[in-house]
Amino acid sequence: MNWFTNTLWTSVGKKLLMAVTGLFFCVFLALHLVGNLTIYAGKDAFNSYAEHLHSLGPLLTAAEWGMLLFALIHICTGLLLFYQNFTARPERYAVNKRAGGRTLGSATMPYTGVILLLFVIYHLFNFHFVDKTHTTIFQIVSTAFSKPSYVVIYTFAMIVAAVHVSHGFWSAFQTLGANHPKYTPFLKGLSLVFSLIVGIGFGFIPIYVSLLV
Ligand code: HEM
């Protein structure tokens, strides 16, 4: 067991933790998007999706605690790696060489990560930690998106999410060993497609709902 904890404490170990937890959140994002897309089928479909989700009871609670644990690991490890990279390079280089080249996504990972963390806290207080006894989830979402400030914040956050996953997705595969001239271009393409699906798929929902109300 000691080798396991020792490995996790190395920088490779920390990157592995980031990759595994990051890919877990990519799966969560894909499932969350599929659920949210039911809003296009109308309020009954969206409410029924939320009811089905809540009918999972203890399973949902377990998934939520698991997600919180993974989020803590992802955020703390990410901040630690950022701090270690920062202190390891006292003089700033004009060009920061990363495998795969410097892209908007790779250059902004820590910043988009922090914005996403703030967004998720805001988001949970908007839609999750609210009294749902005399209302429906559709009502809560449509009341929020009737306010232009919510639409702007959500749309901006979805662009940030897309930029974050555009690098995180393929970088996670690279950390897990899929670093091969044959697979890298495919994974980069897949990463771009996934980030566009996240950005456009989530980003259009606030705009669509605001046009309904
Ligand atoms: C337009 C975009 C989005 C909409 C409309 C939306 C909608 C919702 C709704 C309605 C819930 C509450 C479900 C319930 O408790 O019944 C929820 C929960 C949640 N959302 Fe989103 N979401 C969006 C984007 C995102 C994004 C981009 C993330 C992550 C970066 C995210 C993370 C979460 C999390 C972690 C929960 C709590 C899940 C749970 O504990 O059940 N959401 N979302």
Cβ contact 200:155 at 8 Å: no
Give, for 32, the enclosing helix (H) or strand (E): helix 11-36
Q: How far is the CA of 136 from the centre of ligand 1 (A)?
A: 15
Protein residues with CB under 6 Å of any ligand 1 atom: 32, 36, 50, 53, 64, 116, 120, 123-124, 127-128, 137, 141, 154, 161, 202, 205-206
Of 129, 85, 127, 133, nearest to 109 by C-alpha is 85
Q: How far is the CA of 206 from the centre of ligand 1 (A)?
A: 12
Of 14, 55, 51, nearest to 35 by C-alpha is 51
Q: How far is the CA of 123 from the centre of ligand 1 (A)?
A: 7
Q: Would the CA dihedral through 197, 200, 203, 208 be positive or negative?
A: negative
DSSP state of 94: S
Q: Would the CA dihedral through 135, 136, 138, 141 be positive or negative?
A: positive
C-alpha 191: how far from chain center: 13
Note the pLDDT tens digit of each residue in 14-55: 899 999 999 999 999 999 999 999 999 999 999 999 999 999
Query: Which alpha helices (DSSP H) does 37-147 contain, by range?
Result: 43-54, 58-88, 104-107, 109-123, 137-144
Q: Would the CA dihedral through 123, 128, 132, 136 be positive or negative?
A: positive
Q: Which of 121, 127, 163, 212 to mutate to test the pocket of ligand 1 (most atoms within 8 A of CB)?
A: 127
pLDDT tens string, the chain, 213 residues long: the values are 577 777 777 888 889 999 999 999 999 999 999 999 999 999 999 999 999 999 999 999 999 999 999 999 999 999 999 888 888 766 554 444 455 578 888 889 999 999 999 999 999 999 999 988 899 999 999 999 999 999 999 999 999 999 999 999 999 998 998 877 888 889 899 999 999 999 999 999 999 999 987
Q: Would the CA dihedral through 164, 31, 25, 210 be positive or negative?
A: positive
DSSP state of 179: -
Domains of the chain with CATH codes: 12-88+101-212 (1.20.1300.10)
Cβ contact 189:115 at 8 Å: no
Count other C-beta atoms under 10 Å from residue 160's C-beta.
Answer: 20
pTM: 0.89
Dist CA 193 CA 129 (whole Å): 32
